[in-house]
Amino acid sequence: MDFTTAGENVEAESAPASRPARRAVVAEDEALIRMDVVETLRDAGFDVVGEAGDGEQAVALATELKPDVVVMDVKMPVLDGISAAERIGKDHLAPVVLLTAFSQTELVERARDAGAMAYVVKPFSPADLLPAVEIAISRYAQITALEAEVADMADRFETRKRVDRAKGLLMSKMGLSEPESFRWIQKTSMDRRLTMREVADAVIEQVGGGAA
């Protein structure tokens, strides 16, 4: 398998193309912060299709609207953000970015276990929020693609582990970004009629010298 053209393949593939605005739901009980998040997302080209003041309403909007991303505060009335993220993730509705005033390890672990794709610590700027949103959307797309390929839960976890390892190698050895690395693995999988796990194993073997 020839890895020397990885950068060229991704570059050609990721040429800008017109696409509809991505849709977002914002859930935050503090009106001023919610307005700030909405404005930041709209300035970045997102279509904010729903706003919520509590976690229960956030889940309802995500269920109804199926947005591309949900940006949600951790501490909210009725249903807290982590519980809401868990329900949104369980139903495969959208990637969730959690906003929090805290950065304790325990909270980060709870957010991750609940299925949140990224989190942002307050106070934040657009330079903090927007990359987290992009990471969340990218990771969610990757996980969805892998889940579609692998039905068994145990195999799914092992496949994600190997694909993550292969992405890391492509990022360090080829200078690709994380989304570019995944797109390259996905495209190679389709072009060569291999599973993404088989492509990942080949990358680990050839680029990583067989390192696990």
Instruction: Write out the E strands in 78-142.
Output: 96-100, 118-121
State if pTM tops 0.85.
no
DSSP, residue by residue, 94-112? --EEEEES---HHHHHHHH
Q: What is the pLDDT of residue 89?
A: 87
Q: What is the per-residue pLDDT for 153?
A: 67
Tell me what pLDDT residue 193 has. Answer: 86
**pLDDT score, position 65:** 95
Torsion (CA) 67, 79, 130, 148 in degrees, nearest 10: -50
pLDDT of residue 15: 41
pLDDT, residue 13, reads 43
Can you tell me whether residue 26 is helix, strand or coil?
strand
Residues (pLDDT < 70) of the chain are: 1-19, 103-105, 108, 153, 209-212
SS3 197: helix
**In the block, residue with structure tokens 């990771």:** 139
